[in-house]
């Protein structure tokens, strides 16, 4: 088991900046905006041959009122409970605040190892401003600048010395893997966890769905659009399979995105969709299928991701409303007829089993291996069943096919005069291949390669 370090403190003291510095990523959104982080955010930090888990948390603010702030505090308390060591961050330039005393009192009661980290201390080492933080009674103060990296490595080395658990030797594992033989990138991707992004409009129930899967309040859920601001990745194991669940921020219409924070959230969501292997598109049944739902579905299709449509809050509709929603789904998402639609209630944990079956089926279809011999035979059978029409005086002649890629599956067809194949015939071929390989829940792309005429240009 890897040791865990939790970053805690008041809002806007630089926890997410230090998280990105330690993990050498840009996973956490950083901006000069208090209360930006709301959920626990996990990452892996390395120091030489050693590694450990770092947890970014939301700011603790005792004076803040409201249920959402209470839930944010609950997430932070859970991170502290999981941690082997706590980095309590304070802002040197803002000075000591009353809330710092409250946090320090709570940490002293727990009795866990705590490092008092004074951030934004560039050029202030030995300054008198650091001395006031001795009032917190947490021992030595470690000045750093998370934004510039000053003192961060020394802090990391000190944390590694105080961690109670032995850290794994990453280099030894790498050497063992090399001795066994290097795997291809494709094999490594297949061996890794299946990445599932949960996307949709704000307040559709994305975080509630992930919490229902996990069986715990892992993510902050609140009846307010925009509760989730970052793309939160959560490891999950089901029936012996490893998954990585990615909760994303809700996507609104471009004209309604004003804050820079929300623009960053949109970018993170789009990146999560592109990096996922299966996307669960959550639609709020009480609102219906909106234009924005169609836009999100269109981006998923352009990205080539496998997709399952989850109609959430289905239990809140009567029979007439369900019929209207079904018509709206057929009309607005007609371009995603290949996607499986499941009706669920994330809050009541209804329909989650069939949803998982659809996710596994979509992933299997997206990574399906199609032998060249079988593809060519199916192509020839399709041409015999329905020959393509003549175009420009020549009849297209598809000759053979092979697989050109996975996730999404790509079928490359070779032949003569294939430019004359119309869209209707390509849709016929797509349906033919889908039925043969049971490609449900994934886009299918067909590429045409026309053989050059060796006699072109000769008299």
Feature table: binding site for GTP: 9-16, 56-60, 119-122, 200-207, 247-251, 312-315
User: Which amino acids are annotated as binding site, given as ranges?
Assistant: 9-16, 56-60, 119-122, 200-207, 247-251, 312-315
Write down the H helix ranges in 304-396. 319-332, 352-366, 372-385
Tell the burial category of 184 from Cβ atoms under 10 Å away from its Cβ (0-12, 13-18, 19+): exposed
Residues 421/422/426/431 CA torsion (nearest 10 deg): -130
Integer Cα distance of 270 and 264 in angstroms: 10
Closest to 234 (Cα-Cα) out of 75, 44, 42, 83: 42
DSSP designation for 246:
E
Integer Cα distance of 292 and 333 in angstroms: 11
Integer Cα distance of 57 and 78 in angstroms: 10
C-alpha distance from residue 240 to each of 95, 114, 188 (Å): 50, 36, 18
Cis peptide bond prior to 338, omega within 30° of 0: no
- Bridge partners (DSSP) listed for residue 45: 52
The structure tokens listed for 400 are 């053979």
């Amino acid at each position: 088991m890897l040791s865990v370090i939790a970053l805690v403190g008041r809002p806007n003291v630089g926890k997410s900046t230090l998280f990105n510095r330690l993990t050498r990523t840009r996973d956490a959104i950083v901006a000069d905006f208090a209360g930006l982080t709301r959920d626990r955010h996990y990452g892996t930090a390395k120091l030489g041959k050693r590694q450990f888990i770092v947890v970014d948390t939301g700011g603790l603010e005792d004076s803040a009122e409201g249920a959402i702030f209470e839930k944010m505090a609950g997430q932070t308390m859970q991170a502290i409970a999981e941690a082997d060591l706590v980095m309590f961050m304070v802002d040197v330039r803002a000075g000591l605040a009353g809330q710092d005393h409250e946090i320090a009192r709570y940490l002293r009661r727990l009795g866990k190892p705590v490092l008092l980290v004074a951030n934004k201390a560039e050029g202030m080492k030995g300054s008198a401003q650091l001395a006031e933080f001795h009032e917190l009674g947490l021992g030595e103060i470690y000045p750093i600048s998370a934004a510039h990296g000053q003192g961060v490595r020394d802090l990391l080395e000190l944390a590694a010395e105080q961690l109670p658990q032995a850290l794994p030797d990453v280099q030894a594992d790498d050497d063992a893997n090399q001795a066994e033989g290097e795997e291809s990138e494709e094999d490594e991707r297949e061996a890794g966890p299946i990445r599932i992004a949960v996307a949709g409009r704000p307040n559709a129930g994305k975080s509630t769905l992930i919490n229902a899967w996990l069986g715990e309040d892992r993510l902050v859920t609140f009846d307010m659009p925009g509760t989730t601001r970052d793309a939160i990745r959560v490891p999950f194991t089901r029936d012996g399979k490893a998954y990585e669940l990615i909760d994303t921020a809700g996507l609104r219409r471009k004209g309604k995105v004003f804050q820079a924070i929300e623009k960053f959230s949109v970018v993170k969501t789009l990146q999560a969709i592109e990096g996922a292997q299966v996307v669960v598109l959550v639609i709020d049944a009480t609102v219906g299928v909106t234009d924005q739902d169609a836009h999100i579905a269109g981006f998923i299709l352009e990205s080539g991701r496998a997709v399952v449509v989850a109609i959430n809050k289905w239990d809140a509709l009567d029979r007439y409303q369900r019929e209207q929603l079904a018509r709206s789904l057929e009309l607005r998402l007609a371009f995603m007829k290949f996607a499986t639609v499941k009706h669920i209630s994330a809050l009541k944990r209804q329909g989650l089993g069939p949803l998982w079956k659809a996710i596994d089926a979509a992933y299997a279809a997206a990574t399906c291996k199609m032998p060249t011999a079988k593809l060519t035979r199916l192509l020839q059978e399709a041409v015999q069943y329905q020959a393509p029409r003549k175009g420009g005086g020549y009849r297209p002649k598809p000759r053979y096919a092979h697989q050109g890629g996975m996730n999404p599956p790509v079928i490359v067809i070779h032949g003569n005069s294939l430019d004359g194949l119309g869209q209707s015939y390509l849709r016929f071929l797509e349906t033919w291949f889908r039925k043969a390989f049971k490609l449900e829940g994934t886009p299918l792309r067909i590429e045409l390669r026309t053989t050059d005429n060796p006699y072109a240009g000769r008299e």
